[in-house]
Amino acid sequence: MTGSVTIDLVAALRQFGADEAALRLLDVDEPGLLPYATLLTARDSGDEDLQALGGIYEWQGTPLVFLVAADRLGEDEAKLQRIRRVLAMRGDAPYLGVVGPGRLDIYHISLDDRRTVEARVDVGVAAGQEVATLAHLANARPGLPTGHRQWISQVVLKLLGDSIDTLKTTCGVDDDDAISLVGRALFTRFLGDRHLLGSLGVDILATACLFDDAASAAKTSQWLDVTFNGDFLPTSSGIWERLPLDAFKVLGDILRRAPGGQLRLGWEERWDNLDFAHIPVGVLSQAYEHYLHRHAPVPRDNQDERAASIKMRIATC
């Protein structure tokens, strides 16, 4: 399998102007694959959708086109939509290419629910000039919606803000506690999606229940403090016993993920439509830092200190 995919992608891309040195093949063990470790982990763990993903074409050291082997994809339009969605959570490459002999179909990567025909990109390269395809994609960036590269950050920021605001306005939680509680739930969701909660004694399915009630939330919160060296998102004394039931619903929603990790084909900005196994750690810290600087009712120095603390904890994962 490895040999055939390697040969097919390399050979098929030459006519579209590919520089073989810029091609990262997921079936070839090399240091250049380090930025794509989450994809490799998902493929190795049996993710059927990502089995079709064969490589990445980079431009000036950054990903430009994720590459899917056409013979592994078949005519499964739903699979192509799910692959677009997963890759959009990375927030890096703008394009997905379906590669076959004499064929390179380009789609823009996005979290939307467009049909594949709507996501197809008209590259704009004249017949007979196919060798310029990849260079044209890199330089002209045809077919991309405005703000593409920031979209996943914007989605996380919106959900983060909505959850904090709901705790404050509907559940009567004070500002600092609301910020810390949502941060703890979000950090736990990140760890759960990446299968990093083993020492807490839960699997990925049980993660969804960790903030559903006072006892579970207090236990999880204590584990976070012990595991990550201190109270990095401080809460007031006795907070778990004082929270109303509606607050645990808000926190529990942050922990929910699509059943079996299978993303819906429809798109809504909901916690369960996200998969933090693929969302970069920097997206969490950036979204939280942005929220603190815009909304937190604490001095700027304290905001910076809290944001730096969150970044440090996330970076250890």
Name the β-bridge partners of 53: 68
CA–CA dist 280, 282 (Å, integer): 5
Q: Are residues 171 and 277 in the same domain?
A: yes
Kindly state whether residues 216 and 297 are assigned to the same domain: yes
- pLDDT at residue 258, as a whole number: 62
3-state secondary structure the chain: CHHHHHHHHHHHHHCCCCCHHHEEECCCCCHHHHHHHHHHHHHHCCCCCHHHEEEEEEECCEEEEEEEEHHHHCCCHHHHHHHHHHHHCCCCCCEEEEEECCEEEEEECCCCCCCHHHHECCCCCCCCCHHHHHHHHHHHCCCCCCCHHHHHHHHHHHHHHHHHHHHHHCCCCCHHHHHHHHHHHHHHHHHHHCCCCHHHCCCCCHHHHCCCCHHHHHHHHHHHHHHCCCCCCCCCCCHHHHCCHHHHHHHHHHHCCCHHHCCCCCCCCCHHHCCCCCCCHHHHHHHHHHHHHHHCCCCHHHHHHHHHHHHHHHHCC
Residue of 57, 81, 75, 76 lying closest to 67 (CA atoms): 57
Whether residue 199 is predicted with pLDDT greater than 70 in this model: the reply is no
Average pLDDT estimate for 165-190: 93
Per the structure, how many domains does the chain have? 2
Per-residue pLDDT band for 290 (boundaries 50, 70, 90) equals confident
The CA–CA distances, whole Å, from 253 to 71, 140, 189, 239 equal 38, 40, 10, 19
Q: Could you tell me which of 214, 186, 215, 210 has the C-alpha nearest to residue 200?
A: 210
Q: pLDDT-based confidence at 2, cuts 50/70/90?
A: very low
Give 219's contacts (C-beta < 8 A, 6+ positions apart). none
Domain boundary among 87, 110, 145: 145
- Nearest alpha carbon to residue 260 among 47, 9, 21, 102: 47
Same domain, 295 and 265: yes
In a shared domain, residues 56 and 182: no
**Shared-domain flag, residues 160 and 20:** no
Please calculate the CA angle 304-305-309 and round it to the nearest 5 degrees. Answer: 115
My answer on whether 82 and 14 are in the same domain is yes
**Pair (141, 153) in one structural domain:** no
Q: Are residues 141 and 159 in the same domain?
A: no
Distance of CA 267 to the CA centre of its chain: 14
At residue 303, what are phi and psi to the nearest 5 degrees? -60, -50
pLDDT band, very low/low/confident/very high, at 283 (cuts 50, 70, 90) = confident
69 with 154, same domain: the answer is no
Are residues 303 and 225 in contact, defined by beta-carbon separation less than 8 angstroms? Answer: no
pLDDT at position 21 = 93
| The pLDDT of residue 302 | 55
250 has pLDDT over 80: yes
Report pLDDT for 4: 42
Look over the chain and give the mean of its residue pLDDT values, rounded to a whole number.
84
pLDDT score recorded for residue 45 = 84
Q: Which of 95, 130, 145 is the last residue of a domain?
A: 145
> What pTM, to 2 d.p., does this model score?
0.82
Whether 173 and 233 map to the same domain: the answer is yes
State whether 168 and 284 are in the same domain: yes
Q: In terms of domains, do 212 and 140 share one?
A: no
Q: Given 112, 145, 178, which residue is the final one in a domain? A: 145
Question: Is residue 7 over pLDDT 70?
Answer: no
Phi and psi for 208 in degrees, rounded to 5? -60, -20
Express each pLDDT in 120-169 by its tens digit.
999 999 989 999 999 999 999 998 866 555 588 888 999 999 999 999 99
Residue 298 lies in domain: 149-315
Q: Which of 260, 249, 315, 252 is nearest to 286 (CA)?
A: 315
pLDDT for 285 equals 79
